[in-house]
């Protein structure tokens, strides 16, 4: 049973929403955000990446950064750049990029369900990043950016969402990356109750993106619970901001790899070693067309390499992933990259940048090799989470990215 909660969100007035909404805090560098925000007092980066308003010499995890975020949130509220809805609501958030569309429900996700594995994870968190989000949420007294959830599609929920989407939206914005964002407020108590009832039949949900925000929200809840002698379990901090999408609408793009050097191998020797484990042929098509195929750019040419059956472990939810095959058969044994999280010889290029970016990276280096992967499926992600396993690093790139600033959820 999934427990989701409506809430009284703080939202931009319609005439300001295009000036306010921004990319998530973790997909843009601080200096780039500083440039975006410097001439736009409404930019949500003043809250989500408040280092843009602090001297660049100040460390990112300094208390002054978190305090500035809280100060800026108060300013947004005082100026009525964010206005609270009068009653608890759900929200519908639709995105369209090209021919791909996805429609999610904005709601409060349950800390208790995270702790009891009803909300499934597939990624480890880093302590420094988790601590950062704890301080950020705790100082703001709010969830300013949502966690991206997925659930196994249910027709009954689809029908309720469709009924909302035939009405006039509160926002309809196309951002400069050509993504259309449409947003509806669900205020009718009867519809709110229907949505809750239908989600109570969903057995579990999955974190697609936002493991650090989720874990941080749990820690904030536990701290506030411990310091509240009158804790009831109904406080706002018992839930955190989420956008929940059906699995059949997900678009996962490839997360590709560039290795800067072949070490002491020549390209010819490397190709011979690759041919021991993969079928290999030259190609003019860089992108792989199916699982267990890879595009490989080396020495000025693209190759199609296909894993031989002997190296595929289909009964292992982790080992059968193409990112695992590449790591276990090529990157570690041939190139000595044991930990792709920390090895400076490897670079990850994900999302819409495509194979042209891979080729250009290798050509600029004058050496090395690039690999184009077939995207991981949402079914693989859920299977790994169901097995309580952890996906390899840099396995999934969800697109389009959720915009921050459409709604903020207070936790006090």
Rounded CA separation 126/377 (Å): 24
- 209 and 123 within one domain: yes
Rounded CA separation 105/185 (Å): 10
| Chain segment 264-311, per-residue pLDDT in tens | 999 999 999 999 999 999 999 999 999 999 999 999 999 999 999 999
Considering only CA atoms, which of 305, 270, 267 is closest in space to residue 286?
305
Rounded CA separation 286/303 (Å): 7
- 244 and 173 within one domain: yes
Q: What is the CB neighbour count within 10 angstroms for residue 332?
A: 15
CB 397 within 8 A of CB 253: yes
| Chain segment 59-92, per-residue pLDDT in tens | 999 999 999 999 999 999 999 999 999 999 999 9
In a domain, 3, yes or no: no
Rounded CA separation 6/158 (Å): 18
Beta-strand runs (E) in 79-211: 83-84, 90-97, 100-110, 119-120, 142-143, 147-151, 171-174, 180-186, 205-209
Q: In which residue are the tokens 């903020």 written?
A: 408
CA distances (Å), origin 307, targets 332, 357, 373, 406: 16, 24, 12, 44
Please enumerate in sequence order all residues whose Cβ is within 8 A of that of 242, keeping only pairs 6 or more positions apart, or say none. 4, 106, 107, 108, 109, 146, 147, 148, 149
Report the number of distinct structural domains present in the chain.
Answer: 2
Q: In sequence order, what are the beta bridge partners of 404?
A: 22
Give helix then strand counts, H and E, for the chain. 14, 20
In a domain, 50, yes or no: yes
CA distances (Å), origin 251, targets 97, 315, 406: 10, 25, 21
Kindly calculate the radius of gyration of the chain based on its CA atoms and give it in whole angstroms: 23
Rounded CA separation 60/54 (Å): 9
Tokens of 199: 């989600």
The predicted pLDDT at position 341 comes to 87
- 220 and 278 within one domain: no
- 261 and 164 within one domain: no
Rounded CA separation 145/201 (Å): 26
CB 306 within 8 A of CB 283: no
Residue ranges in the chain whose pLDDT is less than 50 = none
Tokens of 241: 């901001």
In a domain, 358, yes or no: yes
- 34 and 80 within one domain: yes
Kindly tell me the sign of the dihedral angle through the C-alpha atoms of 25, 26, 30, 32.
Answer: negative
DSSP state of 62: S
Q: In sequence order, what are the beta bridge partners of 126?
A: none
The predicted pLDDT at position 1 comes to 79
Phi, psi of 157 (to 5 degrees): -70, -40
CB 265 within 8 A of CB 243: no
In a domain, 135, yes or no: yes
- 47 and 134 within one domain: yes
- 320 and 339 within one domain: yes
The predicted pLDDT at position 218 comes to 98
Give the domain range for residue 282: 255-374
CB 270 within 8 A of CB 298: yes
- 216 and 81 within one domain: yes
Strands 147-151 and 100-110 turn out to be: unpaired
The predicted pLDDT at position 364 comes to 95
DSSP state of 391: P
CATH of residue 262's domain is 3.30.1760
- 130 and 271 within one domain: no
- 122 and 93 within one domain: yes
Residue 241 Rama label (left phi>0; alpha psi -120 to 50; beta): beta
The predicted pLDDT at position 351 comes to 83
Rounded CA separation 116/104 (Å): 23
The predicted pLDDT at position 210 comes to 95
């Amino acid at each position: 049973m999934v427990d989701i909660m409506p809430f009284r969100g703080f939202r931009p007035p319609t005439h300001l929403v295009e000036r306010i909404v921004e990319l998530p805090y973790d997909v843009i560098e601080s200096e780039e955000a500083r440039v975006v925000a410097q001439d736009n007092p409404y930019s949500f980066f003043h809250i989500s990446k408040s280092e843009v308003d602090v001297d660049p010499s100040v460390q990112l995890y300094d208390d002054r950064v978190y305090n500035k975020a809280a100060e800026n949130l108060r300013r947004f509220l005082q100026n009525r750049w964010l206005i609270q809805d009068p009653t608890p609501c759900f929200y519908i958030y639709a995105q369209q990029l090209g021919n791909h569309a996805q429609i999610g429900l904005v709601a409060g996700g349950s800390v208790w369900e995270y702790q009891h594995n009803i909300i499934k994870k597939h990624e480890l968190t880093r302590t420094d990043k988790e601590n950062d989000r704890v301080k950020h949420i705790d100082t703001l007294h709010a969830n300013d950016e949502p966690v991206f959830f997925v659930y196994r599609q249910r027709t009954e929920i689809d029908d309720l969402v469709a009924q909302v989407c035939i009405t006039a939206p509160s926002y309809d914005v196309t951002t400069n990356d050509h993504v259309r964002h449409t947003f509806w407020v669900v205020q009718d108590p009867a519809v709110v109750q229907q949505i809750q009832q239908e989600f109570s039949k969903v057995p579990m949900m999955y974190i697609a993106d936002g493991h650090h925000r989720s874990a941080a929200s749990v820690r904030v809840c536990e701290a506030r619970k411990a310091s509240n002698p009158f804790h009831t379990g109904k406080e706002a901090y018992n839930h955190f901001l989420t956008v929940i999408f059906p699995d059949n609408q997900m678009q996962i793009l490839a997360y590709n790899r560039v290795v800067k050097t072949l070490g002491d191998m020549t390209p010819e020797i490397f190709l011979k070693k690759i041919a021991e484990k993969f079928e290999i042929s030259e190609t003019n098509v860089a992108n792989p067309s199916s699982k267990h195929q890879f595009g490989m750019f080396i020495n000025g040419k693209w190759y199609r390499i296909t894993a031989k059956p002997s190296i595929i472990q289909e009964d292992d939810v982790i080992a059968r992933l193409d990112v695992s095959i590449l790591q276990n058969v090529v990157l570690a044994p041939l190139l000595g990259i044991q930990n792709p999280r920390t090895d400076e010889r490897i670079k990850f290029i994900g999302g819409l940048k495509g194979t042209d970016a891979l080729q250009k990276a290798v050509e600029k280096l004058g050496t090395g090799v690039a690999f184009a992967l077939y995207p991981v499926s949402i079914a693989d992600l859920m299977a790994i989470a169901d097995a309580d396993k952890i996906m390899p690093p840099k396995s999934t790139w969800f697109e389009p990215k959720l915009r921050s600033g459409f709604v903020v959820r207070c936790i006090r």
